[in-house]
Amino acid sequence: MASKSPQLPAVHEAYLPREHALHRPRHGRRQLTALICALLFFTTPTLLWVFGVRPTEIENHKLAGFPSIGDGFGFFTGLPTWAVDQLSFRASAINAADGVSRSIFGEDAPLDQGSSSDSGPIPAPPLQQPGAPNQGPAAPTLPGSNQAGYRKVVQGLDGWLYYGYDAESKCTPAQDIDTTLKKVNELRTAVEASGRKFVFVVTPDKTTMVPQFLPASFPGKECSQAAAPNDWHKMTTVGHSLDLRPALAASAARVGHPIYAPNDTHWRDEGGLVLTRTLAETVQPGVTTGWRSTPDGEYDGVADLPLLLGKSGTKSNTQYTLEPDGVTDRAAGFIGNIDTPVHRTSAPLPGTIAEPTLVYGDSFSLASSRYLSAAFTNLTYLAYSTDKTPQAAAVDELVNSRVVVLQAVERNVVGGLVPFTNDGFIAAVKTAMAAHPVG
């Protein structure tokens, strides 16, 4: 007769003698320690919240919301981002990590490595701006550095910081520059065929205009610097973009310092004046002949690049008057948000442009809005990257304008992150322009 196979003892393995090969403790010391740590980790933020401690936006993006069950698997992938953003003590932890790195390794902690959110630098509000509310913008967001090896922020010489995507966009574009410019020219043809004016202007990256403080080596240096001359040649010839680089260089020489801030990816007020004057002369040659602009005090703003490192910083700016008729100062406050159309109107003056104008732009339009609104008396701003304005509403803004200014920063153009090259959008613009010509 066949023997029965041996069976395991009918007791829980935790109750076996310690010497038994199958003995497993039900609650070992390590398990208990792990449980205590987990309990502290999850309950401490809750207790801090009860006592009034709230998480803050220490990076240049809004705190992530709790993911929806309706997102499917995205609910689980979104939980880590939400959990990290809700840690009220995260700023202190980042500062501690940075202090340890500086004291032991003599350099900042590499807090900007790895994947990031799709938020990038946006122009921060002035800390003190006479005559304007101190409110923060909710501008079109820019990409972070998601490719392996790239940095969100490149730390340069003498404390200068650069946006890492300036290099990454040229090395790993989402869409090649030839395709982008072909689509821009399709828009140009549709707008001009309707009797309207079309102006395309690429605002240079900080790495293009102030390369002297870049470090000797950084991720993407070789491929980005090799691609840039060819990209600019194509943008200014094939794409017929206005070339702001000579005027920006001349302005920097005139004021005696770079017009991009050391710790911010945007230009200072001098850059906004260059953009405004160049656009006005392009739309109406000779209109700026009587313009007068003089320094009108200093103001401090929040610098955007330290925010990407979990830090804070300020940038100093000189603001200017802008007197289109040589007498009346029309420079006003900066606009904080163009996710939905923003209309600015004023009485026409000699030296101003009264034609209804749309600036379909990005954060550099925001950083220049004090001066653009002074030169154009019937002006509408709208972000091309917003998801808060439906496509049909954006197309309507183009139709309602006699001058369409398409402004995009260099990194977005060469990186192919330009929603206005979407085939559906271009088709809608062609149809609307053909149906609403102007005389």
pLDDT at 32 (0 to 100) = 72
Question: What is the mean pLDDT of the segment spanning 260-282?
Answer: 98
Least reliable range by pLDDT among 51-60, 387-396, 412-421: 51-60
pLDDT at 150 (0 to 100) = 87
Find the helix packing angle between 177-193 and 221-237, rounded to 10°.
20
pLDDT at 197 (0 to 100) = 98
pLDDT in tens, 82-119: 666 666 556 565 565 556 555 565 555 555 554 443 43
pLDDT exceeds 70 at position 78: no
pLDDT in tens, 301-360: 999 999 999 888 999 999 999 999 999 999 999 999 999 999 999 999 999 999 999 999
Per the document, the length of the chain is 439
**Cα separation, 255 vs 251, whole angstroms:** 6
pLDDT at 131 (0 to 100) = 35
pLDDT exceeds 90 at position 67: no
360 close to 406: Cβ distance less than 8 angstroms:
yes
**Cα separation, 44 vs 237, whole angstroms:** 59
Residue with tokens 């850059």: 271
pLDDT at 16 (0 to 100) = 72
* 97 or 391: which leads in pLDDT: 391
- Global pTM reads 0.75
